Chains A and B, each alone.
Chain A
Amino acid sequence: MEIDRYADLRSPVHAWDPRFKVAAAFVLVLVSASVSSTGALAAAAGGALLLVLLSRLPVGFVVRILKAPLAILALMIPLLLFTAGGEALWSWGFLHLYRRGLLTAVQIAVKAVTVVLLFAGFFGTLRVQTALKALEDLKVPATLLAILMFTYRYIHLYLEQMGKLLTAARLRGYRLSRGLRHLGATAGVVVTLLVRSYEQSDRVATAMRLRGFQGSFPSLRRFQQNAADVVGSILAAAWVGLLLWLELR
């Protein structure tokens, strides 16, 4: 499911200059994932929620985005509750529910949801390709950027191809996801994709050479910032400041 499905809506977050937005996203995600004090965690979560509200992304969309991390948490939290060690809150025979486990579980859950909400708010409001282009102004090396952009482009092609390969395999009776019985067929799909991609990469390289590629990736796009972008960035910086203050005091 594409994160940028609603990248063409209108909202203050959508309108924010992509460069500032991507930079703010990274900083806020890193800080929000790093705090552990109750105040900072609450502020981070609250801020993330505010961001998503401001972005006017459809509620259903945001809920769907949260499904994946919540599923992981659903798996992890019970394990954590019963294996964390230390003081036990409740016990049934040899099964202990640990206080430390409960606290950690809550902390992890809040952090995970916060980060994913931030992710939705920031990256759900611009196209992936635009975000990648913004990285150029953020001083990401051109070679790495080119690799990121081309990889993204060809992922979609191979997703399509894999779909067809899996269908063909299914029609021949291979259920590749049911256990390990059809490992050979699975390996076959992998080999097909890899060999095709190897051959295609050669042709793509040729196509690039034929259009004059010599190692650099000159680009045209210039982002223009305006006053609103600067305001947004100041707000984001203030938010980071608040989080750090709450964490360190």
Chain B
Amino acid sequence: MHISEGVLDSRVIIGGYAAAAGLTALALSRVRQEEIPKIAVMGAAFFVSSLLHFKVGVTSVHLSLAGLVGIVLGLPSVLALLAGLLFQAVMFQHGGLSTLGVNTVIFAVPALLACLLYSGLGRLAGGRRVVRSLIAGAASALAVLVGAAIVLAVLRLSGEELTGIAYLFSLAHAALALVEGVVGFVVVQQILRVKPEMIPAGLLRRRS
């Protein structure tokens, strides 16, 4: 779901950094010091988990887990995603430094939306595990679709000649959305069974 080097237009790059900086500042302003270990340690686990990939035809597709990160970490997920994207560039060197801003937005906005969706609808679902898992699955799938939409927009903004590629990527993302929806459902279902306190409600994760 992330965009590689060289493709983006300068205004998009700068705009991406500005938007990412805004989201980061927002997350930093609300984060509590006690949460730092959780954001970092779980962020690391999410990062490693997203390295899991599936061979689909010629290419391999990675899970983005953006929806899940948002559901579990809430607003601070922006910070975990930023860290993950930075270290992805550092550790796998396919670029990603100039596109760090845009990529952060591509992952963070869906993550936050997924969190909002899950918290909002979760309240209506009551305590039923299956329903909450279904909502999580739907949120995960939606997260990928929203991310794909942002990718599409960003590519179109960078040049008309990228339109063809943009639509092809969107197609791939649609398939990914389905997979992530299923994974999100199964993962949340198991977590709610084994460690329900990991997924509290609310965007800011206020502990009672």
Q: Are A187 and B190 in contact (CB under 8 A)?
A: yes
A101 to B162, CA, bound (A): 8
> Given the complex, which residues of A lie within 8 Å of B90, measured CB to CB?
3, 123, 128
From residue A143, how far is it (CB to closest CB) to chain B in Å?
6
Q: Are A83 and B93 in contact (CB under 8 A)?
A: no
Q: Which listed residue (B48, B65, B93, B198) contacts A159, Cβ 8 A?
A: B48
Q: Are B7 and A108 in contact (CB under 8 A)?
A: yes
**Which size class do B's interface residues fall under?**
35 or more
A150 to B47, CA, bound (A): 13
Q: Are B5 and A69 in contact (CB under 8 A)?
A: yes
Q: Are A100 and B161 in contact (CB under 8 A)?
A: yes
> Given the complex, which residues of A lie within 8 Å of B157, measured CB to CB?
none
* Contact segment of B52-60, B114-122, B124-132, B145-153: B52-60
From residue A210, how far is it (CB to closest CB) to chain B in Å?
12
Q: Which listed residue (A25, A65, A189, A200) contacts B52, Cβ 8 A?
A: A189
Contact flag A116-B5 (CB < 8 Å), given A148-B86, A177-B55: yes
A73 to B165, CA, bound (A): 12
Q: Are B53 and A83 in contact (CB under 8 A)?
A: no
Interface string of A78-115 (1 = CB under 8 A from B): 01101111100000000000101100100111111111
Q: Which listed residue (B8, B51, B164) contacts A84, Cβ 8 A?
A: B164
A184 to B185, CA, bound (A): 10
Interface string of A29-57 (1 = CB under 8 A from B): 11011111000000000000000000000
From residue B16, how far is it (CB to closest CB) to chain A in Å?
11
- Whether, in the assembled complex, A245 has its beta carbon less than 8 Å from a beta carbon of chain B, the answer is no
> Given the complex, which residues of B lie within 8 Å of A194, measured CB to CB?
42, 45-46, 49, 72, 187, 191, 198
Q: Which residue of B lies closest to A68 (CB)?
A: B94
- Whether, in the assembled complex, B204 has its beta carbon less than 8 Å from a beta carbon of chain A, the answer is no
A75 to B169, CA, bound (A): 12
B 1-49 contacts with A by CB, 8 A: 4-8, 10, 13-14, 17, 24, 28, 31, 33-34, 36-49
> Given the complex, which residues of B lie within 8 Å of A72, measured CB to CB?
4, 94
A 145-199 contacts with B by CB, 8 A: 146-155, 157-159, 161-162, 176-180, 183-184, 186-191, 193-199
Interface string of A211-236 (1 = CB under 8 A from B): 00111000000000000000000000
A204 to B35, CA, bound (A): 11
Using a Cβ cutoff of 8 Å, how many contacts connect chains A and B?
245
Q: Residues on B close to A: CB < 8 A?
A: 4-8, 10, 13-14, 17, 24, 28, 31, 33-34, 36-49, 51-56, 59-60, 63, 65, 72, 79-80, 82-84, 86-87, 89-95, 97-99, 159-165, 168, 179, 182-183, 186-187, 190-191, 194-195, 198
Sampled A-B contacts (16; CB under 8 Å):
A25-B97, A33-B98, A68-B93, A69-B93, A76-B165, A111-B6, A116-B94, A120-B93, A147-B83, A150-B44, A151-B80, A177-B52, A184-B186, A190-B52, A190-B183, A199-B195
Query: 16 extra interchain contacts, Cβ-Cβ under 8 A, other than A112-B6, A119-B89, A194-B46?
Result: A32-B98, A83-B165, A84-B164, A104-B159, A115-B5, A116-B95, A143-B36, A147-B43, A150-B37, A152-B44, A159-B48, A179-B56, A183-B182, A184-B186, A195-B195, A201-B38
The 3 residue pairs across chains A and B that have the minimum distance between CB atoms: A83-B164, A34-B10, A197-B45
Q: Residues on A close to B: CB < 8 A?
A: 1-3, 25-26, 29-30, 32-36, 65, 68-69, 71-73, 75-76, 79-80, 82-86, 98, 100-101, 104, 107-116, 119-120, 123, 128, 141, 143-144, 146-155, 157-159, 161-162, 176-180, 183-184, 186-191, 193-202, 204-205, 208, 213-215
